[in-house]
Structure 1
Amino acid sequence: MEQTGKATGPPAARAVSSVVDGLAGGVSPSRARQLRMVAGMWERALGQWPDAVVRPARAAELFGDEALRTFWGLAAGGWLWAREQDVGRAPSGATLRVVRDCLGILAAAVCPGEEVWLPVVAQPEPKAVVPPGQLAVLYRKLADMASDAPVERHGIALSKEDRVRLLALVAVVLDTGARSSELAAMRLDDLGEDEGTVRVHRSPQNASALPQRVVAERAGVGEDVVQRVMSGRGGVSAGAREKVRVALEGLGEGGPAVEDYALRPGTGVAVRRWLRVRAGLVARLEGTQSALWVSLKANQWQGEPGFALRPQGVRKAYTRGAVALNGVMAGRYGWSPLPTTLEQLRRGAGLTPPLP
């Protein structure tokens, strides 16, 4: 349902387009595109509005129950696509969730403080996770392979450094249940003495852009600062962090949940192995690299290895290693296929509760 132009039709649609223009600077580029898409959908919906339903004349009237239900019926039926050849094709669940979330953002901007009807969109069934009984076998096999010769399967090669990082990453996830964003946020000072503990800065799942924008406005800081504080990342001054904390308390929200976890002895060994490899990777970089998880190779954006992995980089590193290891280990006694996404592994983890 791509929409790149501004709404030029009925006054209510033009008003929504203006609201989107006002929101665009406070949300991510992808969210701004989605909001413009929904503004275009409103324009097309008003162009085919049923005679039996009162036609909204103002932006606020778009978010009444009857108007929203009418809009949603047209959207879910596939009648609001921008391209004519797509009209009548039912949108995917993921697209409908985006539309629903954008409706909530627009409603909060147009009708602040008012409760509006929003549709319920079914969540996809979660993928299977590793059975808990197999996690110990998985952990031991990875530990055994961390010092073996390079692994290669179907053109995918895993060096010793790859496997040392993968083992440490998997071990930390098994002990903490950390998400990719939470792994990317980890810093060296999150590790306790002798790598016996690790601190996880929990980031809210499915957090929308709107609360971050509201917090940013109240705190007088940029939305990127709010995102860093709420996800537990560094790079924020103490003053800015305090402003965000005060704004969150004023909204009745807490800051990021911070949990300390005890690491199993084997995890501590795996992490120490990775720290030795990591030290060699970051040695040539100028300045101080505090991220726990860093890249092994140069890429098109970074001319040197040793740069902090972002959440997407963490997920890619894990998936690449899992695919290669599954191919090499297929058929070996006691080996169960490693999940190919970090989220699958994470949902089978959480073997130890956080420290009090």
Structure 2
Amino acid sequence: MSDQETVVDVVDSRLTGTELLVAAAAEVTSWPSVSASRARQVKWVVGEYTRALAHADHPLAADAGVRTVFTREPVNAYLLLARTGQLRVRKAADPSRGSDNSEQIRLEVLKLLVTACGAEDFAELPPQPDPPSKPPVAKRPRSLLRSQLTELADSPDATTSQLRMLAVGAVVSDTGIRAGEMCARTVEDLSPTLEELRVVRRPQGWSEAEAFTELLALSGLSRAALKRWLPDRQRLLQRVGGTATALWVSLHGNHHDGQAVPAGTPLMPRGLARAWTRAVVDTNIEMAGQPSWEPLPTRMEQLRRGVKPTAVRAPIVPDAEKAAVLLDDVAARGRALAELRREGEQDSTAELQARIAVRQAVRDAWAEGIEHTVQLSTLADAGLPDTASLAAAGWEPVLLAAIDRARGWGRPSKAAAAV
């Protein structure tokens, strides 16, 4: 049985009212597939429904049983009371204003509670509403946006803030991923050549068990932007102790719960959005009046609208047998390249073909989910221990430096040199 497989222990059907709902909530939140955010939503809905049972306008009494509490009339009465703000613990400024998103969450949670109670045969839940549509964003020619980012990438005087903005903008324009997905990315999610990005997708309303992994293609602009951002990121990590794997980090120190937080700490979604807006505003002011400059969009959302990335599905967890085969291939291809380099065959046709072969093997192993450090250890044993030989095998030097910092050297050869 997988860790994410859900076994439902149906709650006692003799329970009623609040006890029934609380027991159902405890069962749902115990499932491995239920995330922390979903668990909070379950407790919120159960709290609302408990107050609904005590409300004068609800048709059921506080001791309602499992065969009635999820039927059409009581559920509709609960939703109406919740929608009009009559079940709030704290008074709202305008109780009559309901949220389509809140209604959708309530129905999703009610469905989970029905499952926990084993009440599928007599539950009558309303159909799920369509997800609320987002207001359209003014169209901006994507070619113009990329042109502005390219102009910034070519600037030798770009600040660290602008380099991070450039890398974020280019990656989002290529992949269309959300701020939360961006913040979750680490150096492990970059392919050795910086040509692809691994992203774990968790669509809204889906359970953790329904998450899936995609490999998204990165453009030449994104690769150039990452090559400029990663060295500056490295400098920002100087005061950060321990491992440092986050791809997007803060530029300045801050305080959290009374404790000093140094620069180089991982960005959270709101922080990333604010950082983008701040950097864009500063850059637009600085570049105003330049003949070819058009202001960049100040909201990250504008970057991802309409993006149709080139995506390939990948496993969330590597298959052990397949991983072993792929690592054997990396080792064999690595030994072949190392042998040609030892014989002085650099830049020969045979050596160039060997480079292509090992790069493909390395890419396939990364796509399966094999960690960078595991591959680098395999290549070191095969005779490719240093930056120059690993670059021949397709590894970007700036990524190698990031791996070293992320994992406490990362490469066996570097670890040995540090002793």
Q: TM-score, normalised by structure 1?
A: 0.67
Secondary structure in 1 matching 2:261 = coil
Q: Aligned ranges for residues 245-260 of structure 1 at < 5 Å?
A: 256-260=212-216
The answer as to 2:173 corresponding to 1:174 is yes
User: CA separation of 1:83/1:173 partners in 2, compared to 1, >3 Å: closer, same or farther?
Assistant: closer
Secondary structure in 2 matching 1:300 = strand
**Deviation of the 1:149 alpha carbon:** 9.6
Find the aligned partners of 1:187 and 1:292 in 2 and give their Cα distance: 5
Cross-structure match for 1:69: 76
Cross-structure match for 1:128: 136
**Deviation of the 1:337 alpha carbon:** 4.7
Asked if 2 retains the 8 angstrom alpha-carbon contact of 1:319 and 1:340, the reply is yes
Find the aligned partners of 1:182 and 1:85 in 2 and give their Cα distance: 32
**Deviation of the 1:16 alpha carbon:** 1.3
Q: Aligned ranges for residues 1-356 of structure 1 at < 5 Å?
A: 11-21=16-26, 23=28, 31-48=38-55, 57-82=64-89, 89-111=96-118, 116-121=124-129, 123-129=131-137, 131=139, 134-145=141-152, 160-195=159-194, 197-208=195-206, 211-212=207-208, 256-261=212-217, 263-301=218-256, 303-328=261-286, 337-350=295-308, 352-354=309-311
Find the aligned partners of 1:37 and 1:355 in 2 and give their Cα distance: 37
User: CA separation of 1:118/1:335 partners in 2, compared to 1, >3 Å: closer, same or farther?
Assistant: farther
Find the aligned partners of 2:21 and 2:214 in 1 and give their Cα distance: 39
User: CA separation of 1:334/1:355 partners in 2, compared to 1, >3 Å: closer, same or farther?
Assistant: farther
User: CA separation of 1:63/1:322 partners in 2, compared to 1, >3 Å: closer, same or farther?
Assistant: farther
Letter in 1 for 2:276: Y
Cross-structure match for 1:153: none
Asked if 2 retains the 8 angstrom alpha-carbon contact of 1:148 and 1:160, the reply is no
User: CA separation of 1:322/1:86 partners in 2, compared to 1, >3 Å: closer, same or farther?
Assistant: closer
Secondary structure in 1 matching 2:181 = helix
Asked if 2 retains the 8 angstrom alpha-carbon contact of 1:76 and 1:96, the reply is yes
Which structure has the larger Rg over C-alpha atoms? 2
Secondary structure in 1 matching 2:254 = coil
**Deviation of the 1:198 alpha carbon:** 1.7
**Deviation of the 1:108 alpha carbon:** 2.7
User: CA separation of 1:104/1:87 partners in 2, compared to 1, >3 Å: closer, same or farther?
Assistant: farther
Letter in 2 for 1:354: A
User: CA separation of 1:290/1:84 partners in 2, compared to 1, >3 Å: closer, same or farther?
Assistant: closer
Letter in 2 for 1:272: K
Higher normalized contact order (CA 8 Å, seq sep 6+, divided by chain length)? 1
Unaligned 5+ runs, structure 2: 1-14, 314-419
Asked if 1 retains the 8 angstrom alpha-carbon contact of 2:251 and 2:264, the reply is yes
**Deviation of the 1:289 alpha carbon:** 1.9
Q: Deviations over 1:238-296 (max 9, x none)?
A: xxxxxxxxxx6xxxx5x5222241x3222221110011111212244333322222222
**Deviation of the 1:123 alpha carbon:** 3.5
Query: How many pairs were matched up?
Result: 292
Asked if 2 retains the 8 angstrom alpha-carbon contact of 1:192 and 1:198, the reply is yes
Unaligned 5+ runs, structure 1: 1-9, 151-158, 213-247
Superposed CA RMSD in Å reads: 3.7
Q: Deviations over 1:61-96 (max 9, x none)?
A: 211223212322333344433457879624233433
Identity fraction in percent: 29
Find the aligned partners of 1:15 and 1:89 in 2 and give their Cα distance: 29
Secondary structure in 1 matching 2:45 = helix
Find the aligned partners of 1:137 and 1:147 in 2 and give their Cα distance: 15
Find the aligned partners of 1:331 and 1:119 in 2 and give their Cα distance: 54
Letter in 1 for 2:177: A
Secondary structure in 2 matching 1:282 = helix
Find the aligned partners of 1:354 and 1:273 in 2 and give their Cα distance: 25
**Deviation of the 1:206 alpha carbon:** 0.6
